[in-house]
Amino acid sequence: MNKADLLSEVSIFYNMKKRDLRRVAKLTKFQTFRSGDVIVREGASDQRFFIIVSGEAEVIKGLGSANEWCLRTLGPRTYFGEMALIDDLVRTSSIVAKTEIQVLILDQWNLREQIAKNPSMAIEMLQMLGRRIRDIEKKTMEMLGVFLPICASCKKKFEEISSWTVFEKSIGNNMGPEIQGIFCQECEKTLFAKLLKNR
């Protein structure tokens, strides 16, 4: 399979025009990593974007520390490092090859040069990244829903110390988080007052 065809099978490039896919494909290169190789290291400055062609990789926080945590496993036609295409920030997690893995690598600076020459590519990339960010937001909210501290009495959500917000006003009713066994300050006073009165 040629590079342009491979790119067309990756979700972030689904809606990109064929001519632009061919332009992007020319900027990529294949690379193979062995099982256990660190492809990207958390905290490093690395402006490359990776597409997994074959094999699997793990996304890890705190690699090598006591708090090392595997966030998820990535397989063929998934990608990582997409934010490196548009910013210069350091990596937020490490990517480690779980098996022997082949990736297709796109360098940030080459893509920027192409976008400067072909502005339509910038619009296509922004639309695709926008969809990706919305998807991440949705999944994050679904994940956090189980852990959100919500008052078991009045259903307000904890924002910060001494600050509780009505949950529905904060994020709506479509997440379905479990209610934790805690109470906001106002409910604590009311409940304790009732308990003392009933003694």
Instruction: Check whether residue 116 and residue 186 sit in a common domain.
Output: no
Identify whether 149 is part of a domain.
no
Instruction: Check whether residue 139 and residue 176 sit in a common domain.
Output: no
Instruction: Check whether residue 137 and residue 168 sit in a common domain.
Output: no
Percent of the chain with pLDDT over 90: 31
Residue 115 scores a pLDDT above 90? no
* String of DSSP letters for 53-115: EES-EEEEESTTSTT-EEEEEE-TT-EE-GGGGT--PPPSSEEEESS-EEEEEEEHHHHHHHH
Identify whether 151 is part of a domain.
no
Instruction: Check whether residue 85 and residue 23 sit in a common domain.
Output: yes
Cα distance between residue 151 and residue 4, in whole Å: 52
Identify whether 150 is part of a domain.
no
Instruction: Check whether residue 136 and residue 160 sit in a common domain.
Output: no
What are the Cα distances from residue 47, in Å, to 8, 71, 116, 157, 186? 22, 21, 17, 38, 49
Instruction: Check whether residue 85 and residue 175 sit in a common domain.
Output: no
For residues 12-41, average pLDDT: 90
Identify whether 14 is part of a domain.
yes
Least confident of 41-45, 83-87, 89-93, 167-171: 167-171
Q: Which residues pair with 150 in a beta bridge?
A: 157
Instruction: Check whether residue 129 and residue 106 sit in a common domain.
Output: yes
The pTM of this model reads 0.64
Instruction: Check whether residue 104 and residue 162 sit in a common domain.
Output: no
Q: Tens of pLDDT along 131-149?
A: 767 777 777 666 655 555 5
For residues 8-27, average pLDDT: 86
Instruction: Tell me the pLDDT band of 117, cut-offs 50, 70 and 90.
Output: confident
For residues 57-65, average pLDDT: 94
Chain centroid offset of residue 138 CA? 10
Instruction: Check whether residue 137 and residue 50 sit in a common domain.
Output: yes
Instruction: Check whether residue 88 and residue 58 sit in a common domain.
Output: yes
Q: Tens of pLDDT along 152-183?
A: 556 565 554 444 444 444 444 444 444 344 55
Instruction: Check whether residue 42 and residue 99 sit in a common domain.
Output: yes
Q: Tens of pLDDT along 70-81?
A: 989 999 999 998
Q: What pLDDT is attached to residue 110?
A: 66
Instruction: Tell me the pLDDT band of 6, cut-offs 50, 70 and 90.
Output: very high
Tokens 């904060």 -> residue:
170
| 133 phi/psi in degrees, rounded to 5 | -65, -40
Number of structural domains (the chain) is 2
Cα distance between residue 199 and residue 46, in whole Å: 64
For residue 26, give the CATH number of its domain: 2.60.120.10
Q: What pLDDT is attached to residue 13?
A: 83
Segments forming the whole domain that contains residue 181: 156-198
Instruction: Tell me the pLDDT band of 24, cut-offs 50, 70 and 90.
Output: confident
Instruction: Check whether residue 178 and residue 125 sit in a common domain.
Output: no
Least confident of 107-116, 145-154, 177-186: 177-186
